[in-house]
Amino acid sequence: MLEQARARGLYQHLSLCILGQEPLPSSEGTFDAVLIVGALSDGQVPCSAIGELLRVTKPGGLVCLTTRTNPSNLHYKEALEATLEGLERAGAWQRLVAWPVDRWELATSELEVGPGTSDNDGFISGIVYLYRKQELAQSSDPTDL
């Protein structure tokens, strides 16, 4: 994917990194907006990486995250929401929206299909979260949460 992005010539800087295992190769407060779509689930990006995403966001910047809400991802979603709420309680950011989406993506296996999935023609549900990083972070280090 990085090679495809590089070939388009639209990006100033491309990096390969593993979220949750190492710091991102960007300074604190680098980005106006940070997005993570399709990677917040068990076995992919750990909840512990959220603080690192927040660290590289500029004060007043936006962080948009998504996850699935189908039965096979509910344990991860609960842990994710505990992390998100902990950062909000610490004053690191403010939730602007949590938007449930009934037909998020097409289920790719029987493991993803659960009660109510057939009502959505094989689609699973998801949720979009949007946060604004506080201008003056009250938490000294959001990665500690």
> What pLDDT shows up at residue 137?
45
Distance of CA 8 to the CA centre of its chain: 25
pLDDT tens digits for 124-139?
A: 899 999 999 999 645 5
Give the CATH number of domain 28-135.
3.40.50.150
* pLDDT, the chain, mean: 88
The DSSP call for residue 43 is T
Residue 73: left if φ>0, alpha if ψ -120 to 50, beta else—which one? alpha
Distance CA 143, CA 137 (A): 12
Six-digit token string for 98: 């949590």
Residue 62: strand pairing partners: 33, 132
Q: What is the pLDDT of residues 103-124, one digit of tens each?
A: 888 888 777 766 555 556 788 8
Q: Is this prediction's pTM over 0.85?
A: no
Indicate the length of the chain as a whole number.
145
